[in-house]
Amino acid sequence: MKVLVPVKRVVDFNVKVRVRPDGSGVDTANVKMSMNPFDEIAVEEAVRLKEKAIVTEIIAVSCGITACQETLRTALAMGADRAILVESTVELQPLAVAKLLKAIVDKEAPQLVILGKQAIDDDANQVGQMLAALLGWPQATFASKIDITEEGGQKRATVKREIDGGLETLAMNLPAIITTDLRLNEPRYATLPNIMKAKKKVLDIIKPDALGVDVTPRLATLKVVEPPRRKGGGKVADAKELVAKLRNEAKVI
Ligand code: AMP
């Protein structure tokens, strides 16, 4: 079966993000960009399913500017078979991405789409859920373990999710949507030979118009501000002084 893995190019998680002086957003000029960490986990999971011979083809897809090709090449070096870039210079909001992915699903007919649970730039946590709704497919979000089985020709996914106070196990028939949580797996590093091989793999480029999707943004960002600076702490001489400060200054006891 085919698996589709959407991967987003985001500011690398090690970079301390800076807000643009005019408050219009985050400064991405000359900043290291990488694959969204939850999407690396999604690619890894797809590759492991292929290694278990459950999956036959992994298609990585990214929506965004030309530079997203680098992110797709990383996915190819990790083990994806081919890639699709839906190229657009428009700021793509979650609903637009979900509609683009739906169009790709209609074209490619995968049995499973594995996405990250959220992109670490906007922390939206929306695309997987919106895609499931648009397709009318079942979804299991925040997966920490995935098992795929088959009975009488029907494939099923059993997904464990970490929830408050325990583990929840869901079962659903494929085709389905799964989004990954941090503990699902530890993604592999792409080796040099695989990076070289990835350069020769197929990477198709499509425009949103060709998919019949209107990607016009619907949300306007009014302002982005840095979090308030934390004030430095102070030292107290003993417990008595601490209690006095908590009572008289912080007024919390
Ligand atoms: P979000 O809902 O924006 O937090 O993103 C959730 C997941 O949707 C990400 O982890 C990706 O798997 C996928 N996704 C979001 N934006 C894009 C994009 N521009 N291109 C490809 N996949 C995306």
CATH of the domain at 193: 3.40.50.620
Q: Residues 147-177: pLDDT tens digits? A: 999 999 999 999 999 999 899 999 999 999 9
Rounded Cα gap, residues 22 and 24, in angstroms: 6
pLDDT at 95: 98
CB-ligand 1 contact for 8 (6 Å cutoff)? yes
pLDDT at 229: 85
Q: Is residue 141 part of a domain?
A: yes
pLDDT at 188: 95
Q: Is residue 233 part of a domain?
A: yes
Counting the structural domains of the chain, the total is 1
Q: Is residue 253 part of a domain?
A: no
Q: Is residue 95 part of a domain?
A: yes
Q: pTM value?
A: 0.92
pLDDT at 224: 92
Q: Is residue 232 part of a domain?
A: yes
Average pLDDT score over the chain: 96
Range of 100's domain?
2-248
CB-ligand 1 contact for 137 (6 Å cutoff)? no
Q: Is residue 71 part of a domain?
A: yes
Is the pLDDT at 230 greater than 90, yes or no? no
Ligand 1 center from residue 126 Cα (angstroms) = 8
Rounded Cα gap, residues 31 and 29, in angstroms: 5
pLDDT at 29: 87
Ligand 1 center from residue 149 Cα (angstroms) = 27
- The answer to whether the peptide bond before residue 217 is cis (omega within 30 degrees of 0) is no
